[in-house]
Amino acid sequence: MPLEGARKADILATAASVFATSGLRASLQEVADACGILPGSLYHHFESKEAIFIELVEQYQVELDAIAEKSLDALRSDPRPSEEQILALGTAIAECAVRNRAALLLTFYEPHAGASDELVRLASHTPTQITAAMLATLRAAESSRSLRSGVDLEILADRLCQSMLHVGIGVYSQTRGAERFPAAKCQMLLHGIAVDAPNDGRLDRSAATRAADDVMSSWDDTTDDDDKAARIRAVARAEFAKRGYELTTVRDIAAAAGVSTGAVYRLIASKDDLLLSIMQSYVETVTTGWTRIVESHSTPVEKLDALVWFNINVVHRFPEEHKIQQAGLRQSPPQTPNLTMSFSAQLRQLKTLVSEGLKAGQFEVDGVSLEMAARCVFALVFTPENIIQTLGARPTLRFDRETLLRGAAVRS
């Protein structure tokens, strides 16, 4: 590679690291400082931060498509057992996501209001090739009778791919034993973590499910459309969910609301305060639901099932708040107010639940520590919104029971 091209590649790699660790709002000055050059030298290679974003996304998408192509080419001649092929593809996707975290974040959120058409197009591109490769791998496994019949393979392929990409979005890659995280998540969906999951009827009648239903029945759908502050919060909620808190400005919120920036500031003290006003009741709602479920007189398997059911309904009822809160885990280090306060409590609750299930012989998790097992389960009890929208709430629960609880693979 010519010296000029090598220097540009070095700058791009450094920029990717800066954006991945400091957030997408990191300045070009920060990138230049990390490169050990003056901003003017950086502009010699990239005319703007958006130009860097575009190259990062293109690089990530090319790499992801290459993984898909390689997997499809090798599928027929691959001598490994079906499960090993699935785990290998899943791990490759997760490793690509970690390497390209900045670009991945850009594809999960809409660019800022002034973004170019090219960046909008790239950011909205759906990685269909990698999902197709996973689906082909699953179908080969089904043909070899490694997977149970009746599991929706298209949904499972989507679930596995999203789960692997989320490894790059979150900060799990920085925790001890993170190299086992992708395979552990795949194995949980393939084998399930319940040693002997009860039938659906018994799960539906559990005290944990009743606790979840009781909390959900108390949710209030009423809003005050005449309240100007409520209108601003509603618009801000949508903008934060679409673009992520870091990339959303008060100017974006004002433009979406059809008012001036000054009008927004007359109603709010700051963007941080606006975010907190949006999320406070949501966090309390989620925390209440989790606590009542884990404190119910139910078995660990029944509690886990109820948590999945509760979270399906949370995502369905509060999709924007859910996206905003999930984004709180994706900042490394966090750049927003402490909106993940419920997550630390929920992770502790889930760690206790997994521990109880293992001790009671109701859960089985191989090859990872209790801490890593809890983190894997924590990630999987939240079903992606697009799957919930595609299937509906009850069918999504059935799918989750057939994967996370019982496992999609044929049990030996």
| pLDDT tens per residue across span 356-392 | 999 999 999 988 889 889 989 998 999 999 999 999 9
What does each C-alpha distance from 115 to 120, 121, 123 come to in angstroms? 7, 10, 10
The distance of Cα 251 from the centroid of its chain, to the nearest Å, equals 27
Domain range list for the chain: 1-47, 190-405
Higher pLDDT, 189 or 48: 189
pLDDT at 336: 42
Higher pLDDT, 412 or 196: 196
The tokens describing 168, both together, are 């790059």
pLDDT bucket at 282, cuts 50 / 70 / 90: confident
pLDDT at 94: 94
Distance, in Å, from the CA atom of 19 to the CA atom of 11, rounded to the nearest integer, reads 12
Least confident of 73-77, 103-107, 162-166: 103-107
pLDDT at 274: 86
The tokens describing 398, both together, are 């059935």
Q: Structure pTM?
A: 0.86
CB atoms within 10 A of CB 135: 18
Q: Which amino acid is at 45?
A: H
Distance, in Å, from the CA atom of 162 to the CA atom of 4, rounded to the nearest integer, reads 36
Q: Which amino acid is at 196?
A: D
What does each C-alpha distance from 213 to 281, 290, 350, 385 come to in angstroms? 18, 12, 19, 20
The CATH number of domain 190-405, selected from 1.10.357.10, 1.10.760.10, 1.20.1250.20, 1.10.486.10: 1.10.357.10
| pLDDT tens per residue across span 171-217 | 555 666 678 889 999 999 999 999 998 899 999 999 999 999 999 99
Angle at which helix 207-217 crosses helix 271-294, to 10 degrees, equals: 150
- The count of residues in the chain is 412
Topology of domain 1-47, CATH: Arc Repressor Mutant, subunit A (1.10.10)
Angle at which helix 319-330 crosses helix 341-359, to 10 degrees, equals: 90
pLDDT bucket at 78, cuts 50 / 70 / 90: confident
pLDDT at 257: 87
Distance, in Å, from the CA atom of 63 to the CA atom of 94, rounded to the nearest integer, reads 12
pLDDT bucket at 3, cuts 50 / 70 / 90: low
CB-based contact 102:59 (threshold 8 Å): no
* 306-343 as b/e: b if 16+ CB within 10 A: bbbbbbbbbbbebbbbbbbbbbbbbbbeebbbebbebb
Share of the chain above pLDDT 90, in %: 44
pLDDT at 342: 52
Distance, in Å, from the CA atom of 37 to the CA atom of 397, rounded to the nearest integer, reads 53
| pLDDT tens per residue across span 220-278 | 765 555 578 888 888 988 888 887 777 788 888 888 888 888 888 888 888 888 888 88
Distance, in Å, from the CA atom of 160 to the CA atom of 184, rounded to the nearest integer, reads 12
Distance, in Å, from the CA atom of 320 to the CA atom of 338, rounded to the nearest integer, reads 17
pLDDT bucket at 330, cuts 50 / 70 / 90: very low
| CA neighbours closer than 13 Å in the CB half-sphere of residue 251 | 4
Whether 329 shows a pLDDT value over 60: the answer reads no
CB-based contact 59:12 (threshold 8 Å): yes
3-class state of residue 171 by DSSP = coil
How large is the average pLDDT for residues 96-101? Answer: 91
